[in-house]
Chains A and B, each alone.
Chain A
Amino acid sequence: MTLLDDPRTSARPTPITSGSTLPPRPTQQRRKLGGIRRDMVFNLVGAAAAAACLSGLLYLLTGLSGGLGLAIIGYVAFLVVYGVLVSIADDGPAVRDAVVTVLMASTAVLAFGALGIVIVFTLIRGWSALVHVNFYTQDMSKAGPLASLKVGGMAHALVGTLWMVGIAVVLTVPIGLVAAVYLDVTRSRPARFFRTVVEAMTALPSILAGLFIYAAWILSFGFQRSGLAASLALSVMMLPYIIRAADLALRLVPGNLREAAAALGAPRWKTEMQVVIPTARSGLATAVILGVARAIGEASPVLLTAGYTTYINANPLNGPMVSLPLLTLKLVQSGVPAYTSRAFGAASFLLVVVIVLFLVARKIGGWGPGHLSPRGLRRVQEASARDVSRFARRRRSDTQPADTAQIPTVGTTR
């Protein structure tokens, strides 16, 4: 921090006197190295007030209009005033440090503020549709462009989204997890190549996933547009995400657990199945949830492959199907006001689902590798208590001394 070279607060060395008694040592106060100091707050508040006044004055005097322009001028004024205020007490490097810190903090405010505005704006505009029960239970087949929000809803898109994402999860999760396990067990050159390919594929434009399924499944193999085709496209998009996130989760498992299992004589597959994967369980669950959260909101792979309907189609193998993001897109493109409200409703619902999935993932992911739920902990404790009593029984019944008793290997203790 800046205090290190600040002459006001640094304790001066007391000169050693030649007399027999040393002078009483000054009581030293522990210097605060971090945290918020009072002068920082004063400077910030002062600069903010000055900037607000300046932009207000400009607004009154010069008739400068436009919220954005005022905000930019106010911000620049704030930075300048803040720098000047800091420079009263501190020197050059400290001033630069303070101004850059404010710059960094303001990018955070800008980015998260934009995120907040996006979420709040969508929820506010979607509220008028979300409050009607029929929005969740009816489809759009009876809701014409002039129908009020009391008729029609997004039930068909809910059904479609459930089918598409469900099938995509069933297809991708096993393959993705096994591929991540491959990356975990082999550290060879092909594994590195595979990891690079997967990372490059995570940025595959999602419309190309749709275009690929359109080219292969629909044009080459002659199938119709259906929920299944859409879920295949979603799978292509999801697969690299799941592999990458699962790979990261498996890499967090401490290596000494693997080595301990190997030292006990466990084969590789047993090490993975009984040690590594159970340890990384929470991370793997997070990977799957985040993959689902991403797939749920993607409209572009579905756009080319699902078709569009206004009625409930519960058969993913036959007939067009629509998902929530696709419905939102189509309703907005129609330009009809009532449809736009419904589009915001569907988008808000989607947003809420994604946020809920996210909170769940954060809760699970926060546990870290090897975390046990209370029930799991109890189960492990019971198992080891059983083991202890079993060893004791065996020791009593065996005539042999304890140190040659058979040492249980991994996997045979239960």
Chain B
Amino acid sequence: MVATLPEAPTGPGPEAQAKRPLKAKPGQGDRTFLGLTRLSTLIVLAVFAAIGLFLAAKALPAIRVAKLSFLTTQAWQPDIHHFGIAGVLTLTILIALVAVVIAVPISLGLSLFISEVAPQRIKRTLVSLVDLMAAVPSVVYGLWALYFLQGRTIGLSRWLSTWLGWIPIFKVNGASPTNPLESSSLYSASTFVAGIAVSLMVIPILTSVMRESFSQAPLGEREGAYALGSTRWGMIRSVVIPFGKSGIIGGTMLGLGRALGETIVVILIISPVFTANLHILQSGGNSVSFLIANLYGESSSFGISALMAAGLALFALTLVVNFSASAVVARSRSGAESEV
């Protein structure tokens, strides 16, 4: 097409003054195509909205009975109308926090290793290994945690509780370090063991988010740091980590969101309690997903409704965590550039 100049000397008439439309009207094929793609996104959004709606609808009877005490009660006896998620939710968050506290330093080192230190030729293999770590079924991690990890952490748990027991979370009630015949069951089935296993499952998530944001640190700034005589660690500290800070925060929160919902490992490891047991080394913990998986079979219809309410609370919590995580990642310099 020939571009028309706005002040063409040949045609001062009203037709020439009219602005030429720069967008073509989509044809029949395009309209159908765009309509189809929009329809599929609507279906997807409808499914996601339905999750919240159905959970809320089914949870309503229980919430109507419990009202605000649902958020403050530390017990789970729906049949006598004495139930609430205060204890269970606290324990859920505790497991997730233990997992994230273990996972963050490891993922930070691992992602820096992959993006900055590893030779180019093994980089892709390492990235695939991280992805494989994410794809290993959770039952496999659960079996490993139950039959391999648990027995091996008891010594560490006992040592921590003996020497750091004055810190409240490391305290173990009924522990007697001087008693050589002390039962090791005091230290098994604890939040700590479950947290270690869950940390293995969130490490790949944290690592891939962090690695992605680190690898986008601009080459010019990296070379600038080197040109000023920096060592590699100096360059990482002054360029890569500040650049990827929001990737670190966002990845951590995404990992937290994933850890909050982990079910299978918790089912296999934890022995359930319903009051908030803040001693992470001590036997007994809980999580909302465990509560649902454990009790849905033997509950009355009101009990199911109470479980739905717990599920709704978990849903809301993970959504808040995940949305803020993606907002943090997207706001950042690295995230803004990753969006094409």
Interface residues of A in 326-365 (CB under 8 A from B): 328-329, 332-333, 340, 343-344, 347, 350-351, 354-355, 357-358, 362
Report whether A207 and B144 are in contact in the complex, using a CB–CB cutoff of 8 Å: no
Report whether B137 and A296 are in contact in the complex, using a CB–CB cutoff of 8 Å: yes
Given A268-B30, A297-B138, verify A236-B51 contact (CB < 8 Å).
yes
Say yes or no for B244: interface residue by CB 8 A criterion.
Answer: no
Given A108-B110, A203-B257, A300-B264, verify A350-B140 contact (CB < 8 Å).
yes
Report whether A205 and B129 are in contact in the complex, using a CB–CB cutoff of 8 Å: no
Report whether A297 and B41 are in contact in the complex, using a CB–CB cutoff of 8 Å: no
Report whether A294 and B135 are in contact in the complex, using a CB–CB cutoff of 8 Å: yes
Say yes or no for B232: interface residue by CB 8 A criterion.
Answer: yes
Say yes or no for B213: interface residue by CB 8 A criterion.
Answer: no
Interface residues of A in 208-223 (CB under 8 A from B): 208-209, 211-212, 214-216, 219-220
The CA of A198 and the CA of B45, in the complex, are separated in Å by 9
Interface centre among A185, A199, A200, A267 (most CB of B within 10 A): A200
Report whether B148 and A117 are in contact in the complex, using a CB–CB cutoff of 8 Å: yes
Instruction: Give chain B nearest CB distance to A399 CB in angstroms.
Output: 27
The residue of chain A having its C-beta at the shortest distance from the C-beta of B56 within the complex is: A215
The residue of chain B having its C-beta at the shortest distance from the C-beta of A112 within the complex is: B129
Q: Which residues of A contact B264 (CB under 8 A)?
A: 299-300, 325, 329
Interface residues on A, range: 35 or more
Say yes or no for A22: interface residue by CB 8 A criterion.
Answer: no
Contact residue among B27, B107, B159, B226 (Cβ-Cβ distance under 8 Å from A267):
B27
Q: Which residues of A contact B296 (CB under 8 A)?
A: 211, 214, 304
Point out residues on A near B: beta carbons under 8 Å.
1-2, 4-5, 65-69, 93-94, 96-97, 100-101, 103-108, 110-112, 114-115, 117-119, 121-122, 125, 174-176, 178-179, 181-182, 185-186, 194, 196-201, 203-209, 211-212, 214-216, 219-220, 236, 239, 243, 251, 267-270, 272, 290, 293-294, 296-300, 303-304, 325, 328-329, 332-333, 340, 343-344, 347, 350-351, 354-355, 357-358, 362, 366
Segment touching A, from B31-39, B166-174, B183-191: B31-39
Instruction: Give chain B nearest CB distance to A413 CB in angstroms.
Output: 18
The CA of A326 and the CA of B323, in the complex, are separated in Å by 30
Contact residue among B33, B48, B142, B156 (Cβ-Cβ distance under 8 Å from A272):
B33
Say yes or no for B2: interface residue by CB 8 A criterion.
Answer: no
The residue of chain A having its C-beta at the shortest distance from the C-beta of B307 within the complex is: A211
Report whether A115 and B139 are in contact in the complex, using a CB–CB cutoff of 8 Å: no
Segment touching A, from B62-70, B273-281, B311-319: B311-319
Interface residues of B in 54-83 (CB under 8 A from A): 54-55, 57-58
Q: Which residues of B contact A299 (CB under 8 A)?
A: 137-139, 263-264
Instruction: Give chain B nearest CB distance to A219 CB in angstroms.
Output: 6
Report whether B263 and A108 are in contact in the complex, using a CB–CB cutoff of 8 Å: no
A-B contact sample (8 more), CB < 8 A, given A107-B113, A204-B261:
A108-B113, A115-B136, A122-B143, A194-B45, A206-B261, A208-B311, A211-B307, A347-B143
Report whether B261 and A185 are in contact in the complex, using a CB–CB cutoff of 8 Å: no
Report whether B136 and A343 are in contact in the complex, using a CB–CB cutoff of 8 Å: no
Q: Which residues of A contact B340 (CB under 8 A)?
A: 251
Between A and B, 30 residue pairs with Cβ closer than 8 Å are A2-B232, A68-B153, A69-B159, A97-B234, A104-B112, A104-B116, A105-B117, A107-B106, A121-B147, A122-B144, A194-B45, A199-B326, A200-B323, A200-B326, A203-B257, A205-B260, A205-B318, A212-B50, A219-B58, A267-B27, A267-B33, A269-B29, A269-B32, A293-B135, A328-B139, A340-B147, A354-B136, A358-B128, A358-B135, A366-B124
